[in-house]
Amino acid sequence: MVVTSAPTPDSKLDLDRDDLWAAARGDEMAFESFVIRHEASVYRFVQSLGSVGADADDALQETFIHAWRAASTYQGTGSARAWLLSIARHVVYRAGRRHAGEPAEFDSLESIAQRAGWGDESEVRARADDRARVVQDALQRLSVADREILVLREIQELSGDDTAAALQLSLPAMKSRLHRARLRLTSVLRETFRNEDVA
Amino acid sequence: MTNLDRSVAGVTCREVLFELSDYLDNALSEQRIAQLRAHLDGCTTCLRFGNDVAETLHALRVSAAQPVSIPPRTASALRARLTLERTAHNRARDPT
């Protein structure tokens, strides 16, 4: 089993902070630099939360409008990307009048692990290319709460602290939710492969 | 389901299950990682499950690894909206 290091601190942290603080003083070029660095990341994130087409475009625009207006409130203590993605999250939930990422139900870790295959050694393990083939569909089948934390941590590669900040959770609460989301994703993959075997 | 209270190398399967994410993120002390690794060396159930979770996360990262670009029309609309916002902001600040 490969142990991975936690994502490294954002190397653009200082650049982002300087650009945001310059933007707060009205520096449009600095803000444009910030937009260029993060627009694709925000676009992917709002899409992962369910915004598509014109809704995704609107969410992208609203996110950067809010960031421009609120640049002076960025404290520079966490990564600017986490701050920006937190804004994007609120924009998407407000637009869709969705309930911001709260888990819909509470399952014991043991029951989640069982559904994810813990203790079942009868199954043939999935191949890496099969996992890669279905994992994005599996991600979309998760709850918004599970999906957003996996996107922030695994795809956007925010640190644990920044993920917690973006979701307005304590670090222990974030870690607990992340762990469950990882197991649920494994569970959905397992279910997908079992259905393929039956079909 | 195999008994989660089974102990291997002084660590139960339940402990491994609860600490698996921290283990995968290398967010435990070296001593604790060594303890969990000793359990995994002797417990095929936890090793298999840990590998499943690790490989699922790897697949997720790989599937999203390609660079994302936004459609040109989306990028243009964003710039147009920001220009409008700045213009309104500047007018409000300096009405003359």
- With pLDDT > 90 as the criterion, what percentage of chain A qualifies? 56
Burial, A126: exposed, middle or buried (Cβ in 10 Å; 0-12, 13-18, 19+)?
buried
Mean of the pLDDT values across residues A55-71?
Answer: 94
Mean of the pLDDT values across residues A47-70?
Answer: 92
Q: Report whether pLDDT(B62) > 50.
A: yes
CA B80/CA B69 separation, integer angstroms: 18
ipTM: 0.86
CB atoms within 10 A of CB B40: 23
Q: Which chain B residues touch A3 with a CB distance below 8 Å?
A: 23-24, 26, 33
**Looking at per-residue confidence, does A18 or A78 come out higher?**
A18
CA A39/CA A61 separation, integer angstroms: 9
Global pTM reads 0.84
Which domains does chain A possess? 13-96 (1.10.1740.10), 109-198 (1.10.10.10)
Q: What pLDDT is attached to residue A9?
A: 47
Q: What pLDDT is attached to residue A8?
A: 45
- Planar angle of CA A57, A149, A161, nearest 5 degrees: 110
Chain A nearest-CA distance from B10, in A, is 19
Contact A106, A114 (CB under 8 A): no
Tokens representing A59?
């969410």
Contact A182 B47 (CB under 8 A): no
> pLDDT tens digits, residue range A145-181?
999 999 999 999 999 999 999 999 999 999 999 999 9
From the candidates B60, B66, B74, B89, which should be mutated to test the interface with A, based on the most A CB atoms within 10 A? B60
Contact B74 A57 (CB under 8 A): yes
